[in-house]
A and B are shown apart, each in its own frame.
Chain A
Amino acid sequence: MAAVMTETLPAPAVPAGRPGGSRAWEVIRAGAWRWVVFLLAAIFFLLPLVASFEFSLRDPHGGYSLASYRQFTKMPGFGSALWLSVKLALMAVGITLALLVPTVTLVHLRLPWLRRVVETLTVLPLVIPPIVLVVGVLGAFSSYGPAWLLSSPVNLGFEYVVLALPFAYRSLDAGIGAIDLRTLVEASRSLGGNWATELFRVVLPNLRTAVLGAAVMTVALVLGEFAMASVLLWVTFPVWVVSVAQTQAGVSVAVSMISLLLTWVLLMLLITLGGRRGRQANILGGF
């Protein structure tokens, strides 16, 4: 009993002994560490962007000018590289959606026991780095695949679908989880709809945001992918940017600034859209 008394006595004494000023000091101190963290983060994350912008404005002949920004569209290979990347992005988006929307819908509606399997499969591309996957692609399709597969960039588009799987699947899965799909589909059935009506007039319209999210993620990924394209020797946009850097650093920084801005606008759009739908905000990092 005495032990308990000595243990408990000082405890109420401490908060009582603390004047109001100490609490205010604590609040300031709590605020202070926060602002230090914010300041450091702001410097670390914004400085490279500022520096890139400054670098891209440097004129080769001294001083500053917009020369790099004016120059890059006239550089050899710019148009074809960008066009190749855009074509690959469209191809990857098309295949990704055509593959995943029916699969995710079926798994949610009819095959819940298969969900774990599909989920695991879609995580695998995160386990197998693109640089390793491309080694496998070279090994597998050079000896066993049809010859045209490796001699055309189509192969790259096929593999980009695989790289996009984790993100696209998560976006669609979250989107479908957020709506009461079963009820909607049952309603459509009872009104005499068939599976096509189901897919195109019930599922897809309700998944607009998720589908858009999956598409944007895929596009962003394809436009920025470097490892596979460079190993397979296709001059996509990022590969072109790196090759330019060897002769004209200013131009390559200018171009990557622009591509960065475009990608960010896309991603910002996606996050703002996702934020409105609540759950989907975590598709970017929530794997």
Chain B
Amino acid sequence: MSSLDAQAPSGPDSPQASTGAGAGDRPGTAAPAPDGAAPAGAAVELGARPLARVAQRVGRALPGAMRRDGLALLGTLPFFAYTLIFLGFPTLAVTIDSFKTDDGTWTLGNIRTTFEGLYRTAFLNSIEVSLLTAAIGVVFGGLLAQAVLTTRRNTWLRRIVTTASGVFANFGGVPLAFAFIATLGTTGLATRWLGDIGLKLSSTGFSLYTFSGVVVVYTYFQVPLMVLTITPALEGLRPQWREAAQGLGASAWSFWRHVGLPVLFPSIAGSFLLLFGSSFAAYATAQALTAGTVSLVPIKIGNLVSGNVIAGSQNVGKALGFEMILVIAIVMVGYVLLTRRASRWLR
């Protein structure tokens, strides 16, 4: 045992120089390594080399940074404390409480309840609305963005669409719901106009206060959001690519089929996920529109928390909330990965 120990410090030192401590990509780090880091690296050397490397790097960078930036770190403390208290703490409460009964014992019952009956329907509805409005947003927003970009630069049209997109994408909640009630509600302007030309809206199966209405209303902020997120990517499509394709005899369709859309794919998929998330999380619009009658997850949560439900289901709302966070977190991670992938081509 002692002979092994004696050998160890000298033994792994040489392989470490070639493989450990990021010798390949950061040659400088091996030399100024503090003495303390070497044994730590040597101990795990045989087991998991990449892990050791990461641990070593972090271990070396962190104390150094702490020493250097101590005062500066102190300056960021209020920010971290604030987010911990007002964001971290409530999120933690949602997460923990969704695994507890009202009496405080651990359970999986809340989670199980959310996959049954009404809540299951709400989840499916929410996902359906989000998928549908995201798809509509991606198609029409993409077309609109491309239509704007093919006009000449700095025209009034371009300015209006860009500015209006910024404004409309932030137009949600209560005013949006009322605007649509005034348009497609029972006495709305569009409803009356359609009635005048002999089309009764109610007979088509469309109702503003149900699933179909929510889809139409959400489209109102999804399309501008798509215009905002996809425009930079569309601007990144170099005109040379199009010219090259045309020079080789490609039609507009085959350019988009073989060059444009493949290059844009990560951006489009990323935008789709972003739109999905924005519609999945929306509460105020649907609540103001349907007064809590439409079966969507955020609405269910609102109803559960507002208290007009059976006792004992307090934490079901939290379980629903926890699952919403999970869904949106997955979607957002996908978004980040896709935009990173997209930036490879579009610089």
Near B by CB (< 8 A), chain A positions 23-46 give 26, 30, 33-34, 37-38, 40-41, 44-45
List B243-259 residues whose CB lies under 8 Å from chain A: 248-249, 252
- Tell me the complex Cα distance, A161–B87, Å: 10
With a cutoff of 8 Å between Cβ atoms, the chain B residues found around residue A238 in the complex are: 173-174, 284
If A136-B94, A224-B172 touch, whether A118 touches B79 (CB-CB below 8 Å) is yes
Contacts of B321 on A, CB cut-off 8 Å?
129, 131-132, 135-136
Given contacts A54-B182, A245-B178, A267-B167, contact A48 B220 (CB under 8 A): yes
Residues of the A chain whose Cβ atoms lie less than 8 Å from the Cβ of B162: 271, 281
Q: Are A135 and B305 in contact, CB atoms less than 8 angstroms apart?
A: yes
Cα–Cα distance between A64 and B206 once the two chains are bound (Å): 28
Give the docked Cα–Cα distance between A121 and B78 (Å).
13
Question: Does B287 lie within 8 Å of A227, measured CB to CB?
Answer: yes
Residues B144 and A41 in contact, CB atoms below 8 Å apart: yes
Residues of A close to B157: CB separation below 8 A: 38
What's the minimum C-beta distance from B182 to chain A, rounded to whole angstroms?
4
Spot the interface stretch: A70-78, A109-117, A179-187: A109-117
A282 touches B175 (CB 8 A): no
Main SS of the interface on chain B? helix
Q: How far is the CA of A156 from the CA of B176 in the complex (A)?
A: 23
**A49 contact from B150, B179, B288, Cβ within 8 A:** B179
Interface string of A269-287 (1 = CB under 8 A from B): 0011000000001101110
What A residues does B178 contact at CB under 8 A?
52, 241, 245, 249, 252-253, 256
Residue numbers of B with Cβ under 8 A of A are 61, 65, 69, 72-73, 75-76, 78-80, 82-83, 86-87, 89-94, 97, 140, 143-144, 147, 150-151, 157, 161-176, 178-183, 188-190, 219-220, 223, 225, 228-229, 232, 248-249, 252, 277, 280-281, 283-284, 287-288, 298, 301-302, 305-306, 317-318, 321-322, 324-325, 328-329, 332
What residues of chain A have their CB less than 8 Å away from a CB belonging to chain B? 11, 14-15, 26, 30, 33-34, 37-38, 40-41, 44-45, 47-52, 54-56, 95, 99-100, 102-103, 106-107, 109-111, 113-114, 118, 121, 123-141, 144, 158-159, 161-162, 165, 220, 224-227, 230-231, 238, 241-242, 245, 249, 252-253, 256-257, 259-260, 263-264, 267-268, 271-272, 281-282, 284-286
| Interchain Cβ contacts under 8 Å between A and B, 17 examples | A15-B249, A38-B144, A41-B161, A121-B87, A126-B332, A128-B91, A129-B324, A129-B325, A135-B90, A135-B318, A135-B321, A136-B94, A141-B89, A226-B288, A249-B178, A267-B170, A281-B162
